[in-house]
Amino acid sequence: MNRVLPILFNTEMVRAILEGRKGATRRSVKGYIPDDAVWGYTAFTPKGYISCRGTFADGYGEKFFKLPCEPGNILYVRETWKKAPNGYYYYEDWQKNDIADITKWKPSIHMPKEAARIWLKVTDVRVERLQEMKPVDVIKEGAYPDCWDCLNTYGESGSQCCYGTEEQCSQCDEVMMEWEKLWNSTIKKSDIDRYGWNANPWVWVIEFERCEKPAESPYAWNDAIHKLTKGV
């Protein structure tokens, strides 16, 4: 059975997913990574990990980094939410005028799985330098909606659009500048020198597609009881 994991998105990115404009996300790879890092999989790579070869503090060698998720895994989106007294869940991307302001909004990190309305299936996970991104990658992140129609019409290498090619127009430059600002806004000030745009950190690139909520296993309750009785 595929693993089911949570993933957090802010309200802007939730809208992009719902509108079909977002199919990827990037998250910083934590921990020390050498400048000469080479990522991949070897015969010794444990399941659920990726190999990193390079010059670490103790010399050249191979270390393994745990993948945040794997292709085939199911992600449920945690977003800003509230639960009304009537038992219904509400989400911040809805028109606030349509929602009775009787309970406070709760941060996404506290959202329970039962409240999730967006489910994603992971299609690819890899490691890249942040600045390897092209404008087309920014658009696939859902961060620049004005360019979505152009990409959708001409494709990544269409003759009437420079996305996916080595050329960049003034619009492409604007896309990259806006993405740099957006990325840096998600990084703590104390970490900006390590994980900010100019630091060009290694990032997890997680690609996904919308999917239906997976059916609960008929044995889920029995499994839970078994784990409790076993103290696992």
pLDDT tens digit sequence for 44-90: 999 999 999 999 999 999 999 999 999 999 999 999 999 888 888 98
Tell me what pLDDT residue 148 has.
54
Q: What CA–CA distance (Å, rounded) separates 205 from 126?
A: 5
Give the mean pLDDT of 202-222.
Answer: 82
Residue 24 exposed, middle or buried by CB count within 10 Å (0-12, 13-18, 19+): middle
Evaluate whether 109 touches 195 at the Cβ level (below 8 Å).
no
- In the chain, at which residue ranges do the beta strands (DSSP E only) sit? 4-8, 24-28, 38-40, 49-56, 59-66, 74-78, 81-83, 89-91, 119-129, 202-211
Tell me what pLDDT residue 150 has.
58
More confident residue, 170 or 185: 185
